[in-house]
Structure 1
Amino acid sequence: MDAIDRRIIAALQRDGRMTIADLAETVGLSPTPCARRLDRLQSDGVITGYAARVDPHKIGLPVSVFISVELEQQAKGGIEAFERAVRGFDEVMECHLMTGSRDILLRVVVADLAAFDQFLEHRLMRVPGIRNMRSNFALRTMISRDVLPVPT
């Protein structure tokens, strides 16, 4: 990746609906070489997709919960089984394998406390291999970034 590729990535993170002509002008290329670079960035997996950013409050999902999970076994099979199980839960927005005293950190979004209770009772607590869980509710999001700091 060179400086132009990085400018393409930075520009598309700001506006993923940008036309090739606008993108080319922004990064200082003509449209055809810009389109070739964009295709390469996509085929190489640098750009993994495009999506709309949605305000969770405005669609009725204002509650964000961080759940620390300790597994009974930290072996590869136990971690993979847990990942397969939670991958099917739409409420799980992020799932991270962690260092330290907790093995997994989940970020879950729900409509309210009753929905969180239902998620815990009927979904997460039924996943085998969990030793312990601890939930923390986000009171307010102070910083949320979707744009990565692309090194120049």
Structure 2
Amino acid sequence: MGRELDETDKGILYMLQREARNTTAQEISETVGVSPSTVRNRIDQLESDGVILGYHPEIDYEAANLSLRVLFVCTAPAVRRGELTDKVMNVQGVIDVREMMTGRRNVHIEIVATDTTDISRISDAIHELGLEVESSELMKRRQMQPFNHFQFTNLDEGTTDGPNE
């Protein structure tokens, strides 16, 4: 079972999701209403508890001349799904794997390829592992945002709806 998050933890996580690299403990503390040392201690604890798993750059693959991003929607036998998703992460070019809870089309695999030959190589590797590719879609763009359950939704407008308001 996971760790219970209080409003301070939720505010810290929200701020880190928005921009972990350029957000200081001081800025987070001003938003969530605690001291910078409390923010640093909470981040350390969230990392130790496995709530924060890491900090990853968001890459614009098109700007890096890697514009071929493909989403493979696959089916794996339910009893082998975890094993197969672990193995598919070792295929060069795979950047994201998502396991769905039920039904067919229960594994989604995002890849980055250099050309169509590379797409074929990755597709063949996916098949060889025992996954059945149901569809493949060329991706144009992916957008993400912080989980707004943390209630800090008006930060871009200069106001907060945090726990201390």
- The answer to whether the 8 Å contact 2:69/2:111 transfers is yes
**Is structure 2 residue 143 aligned with structure 1 residue 138?**
no
Aligned to 2:62: 57
What is the letter of the counterpart of residue 120 of structure 1?
A: S
> CA-to-partner distance for each residue in 1:97-138, whole Å, 9 max, x for gaps?
3322323221222122221012223x22322x34x3233223
Aligned to 1:147: 146
**Is structure 2 residue 12 aligned with structure 1 residue 12?**
no
* Ranges of 4+ aligned residues in structure 1 off by more than 3 Å: none
Aligned to 2:90: 88
What is the letter of the counterpart of residue 64 of structure 2?
A: I
Q: Which runs of 5+ in 2 are unaligned?
A: 152-165
Distance 1:92 1:20 in 2: 34
Distance 1:23 1:149 in 2: 16
Q: Which runs of 5+ in 1 are unaligned?
A: none
The alignment's TM-score, normalised by the length of structure 2, stands at 0.74
Give the CA RMSD over aligned residues.
2.1
- The answer to whether the 8 Å contact 2:11/2:150 transfers is no
- The answer to whether the 8 Å contact 2:127/2:133 transfers is no
Aligned length: 145
- The answer to whether the 8 Å contact 1:11/1:23 transfers is yes
- The answer to whether the 8 Å contact 1:66/1:106 transfers is yes
Aligned to 1:79: 81
1:108 to 97, 108, 111: 111
Deviation at 1:96, TM superposition (A): 2.3
SS of 1:133's equivalent? Answer: strand
